[in-house]
A = this chain, B = another copy of it.
Amino acid sequence: MISRDPDILFDAARAGSRTALARLLTYAESGGENQRATAARAYRGSSPYVVGLTGAPGAGKSTLTDRLISETLARGPFDDTGSTAVAVLCVDPSSPFSGGAILGDRIRMQEHATNDDVFIRSLATRGHLGGLSLAVPDATRVLGAVGFAVVLVETVGVGQMEVEIASTADTTVVVVNPGWGDAMQASKAGLLEIADIFVINKADRPGVRETRRDLEQMLDLGADGRWRPTIVETVASTGAGTPELYEAIEAHRRHLEAGGLEVARRERVRAELDKVLALILRSRVADLARGVAYESQLDALVAGETDPYRAAEALLESA
């Protein structure tokens, strides 16, 4: 029987047990004691290089992810860890399903699943109080700690949550399609600000030149001396453009390393720490609101004997 102890599971996962790794990821996406113990160990391990992929449904993200897995495996060790292992997290904030849910367009990707160097998992929020915005970083750290050098985080949909998740990656790839207005839609969804690389996928269709021009124009407006997003054309269904996409990711990684990958990661860790602080404080408010002291402050408020500011401070002092 498989252990429930995160430390034992980490050792087993490092030794190659997929069952152990799956359980650790379940802990990362759920609340409770094991989540904390899992995070405690995960954040002490090495940080993987995280590539986020986002874009509207149907843009071809899954097929592109599939191609990127093959390309990464073919290129050999990604960095000085000597590891070629690639993990994929599929994140769909709108879906309550997780783990076992393999949709039609995931089937091709699953062919990699028999490869020891590839691990694919859907991620959902199952009780993690911080939701996916904390579950995803926790899960990528679990994968890094057990030896994956690269984690691809593919988000489905273009809502605020998807943008937030994708933007926590080291390199964020935004996938659009050729055709009128697609670049504009990406801009509206806030993808222009988070993209390090734009992929015009399905580049065998008409409208590639116009979409590239639209993207270039929008990027010109936002030019401010930072990294200017690369634009790569791909046809994920045939594999065309995959080497160029891989090299664009590599180029962005080198750019980050030159400018201080550690600086960028420190900012990300800062944002994460702020989220956890807010999360703990929110749960403290919830605890307070269940207490007797809260009801008596409320009585005093209704009776006009205090004001909400004084009442709140009295509650916080007594907590």
Closest to A311 in B: B273
Say yes or no: A308-B278 contact (C-beta < 8 A), given A297-B273, A302-B265. Answer: no
Within 8 A of B (CB), among A242-289: 262, 265-266, 269-270, 272-282, 284-285, 288-289
CB distance from A271 to the nearest CB of B (A): 10
Bound-complex Cα distance A278 to B282 (A) = 7
Contacts of A272 in B (CB 8 A): 308
Closest to A42 in B: B307
Contacts of A39 in B (CB 8 A): 307-309
Q: Could you say which of A18-26, A43-51, A206-214 contacts chain B?
A: A43-51
Most buried by B among A265, A269, A279, A294: A269
Instruction: Please tell me if A81 contacts chain B, counting CB pairs below 8 Å.
Output: no
Bound-complex Cα distance A107 to B276 (A) = 49
Contact B285 A274 (CB under 8 A): yes
Instruction: Please tell me if A240 contacts chain B, counting CB pairs below 8 Å.
Output: no
Instruction: Please tell me if A17 contacts chain B, counting CB pairs below 8 Å.
Output: no
Contact A306 B270 (CB under 8 A): no
Instruction: Please tell me if A189 contacts chain B, counting CB pairs below 8 Å.
Output: no
Within 8 A of B (CB), among A175-191: none
For A295-319 the 0/1 string (1 means CB < 8 A from B) is: 0011001101111111111011000
Instruction: Please tell me if A223 contacts chain B, counting CB pairs below 8 Å.
Output: no
Say yes or no: A281-B276 contact (C-beta < 8 A), given A43-B301, A302-B266. Answer: no
Within 8 A of B (CB), among A16-73: 36, 39-40, 42-47
How many monomers of this chain does the complex have? 2
CB distance from A274 to the nearest CB of B (A): 6
Contacts of A279 in B (CB 8 A): 312
Contact A288 B298 (CB under 8 A): no
Contact A310 B40 (CB under 8 A): yes
Bound-complex Cα distance A227 to B126 (A) = 36
Closest to A284 in B: B281
Contacts of A134 in B (CB 8 A): 308
Contact B280 A312 (CB under 8 A): yes
Closest to A304 in B: B44
Contact A316 B42 (CB under 8 A): no
Contacts of A282 in B (CB 8 A): 278, 281
Bound-complex Cα distance A284 to B281 (A) = 9
CB distance from A44 to the nearest CB of B (A): 5
Contact A36 B309 (CB under 8 A): yes
CB distance from A289 to the nearest CB of B (A): 6
Closest to A279 in B: B312
Contact A43 B281 (CB under 8 A): no
User: B-contacting residues of A (Cβ < 8 Å)?
Assistant: 36, 39-40, 42-47, 134, 262, 265-266, 269-270, 272-282, 284-285, 288-289, 294, 297-298, 301-302, 304-313, 315-316
Known: A269-B301, A276-B309. 14 other contacts (CB 8 A): A43-B306, A44-B305, A46-B304, A134-B308, A266-B302, A269-B302, A273-B311, A273-B312, A275-B308, A276-B311, A278-B281, A278-B285, A280-B312, A281-B285
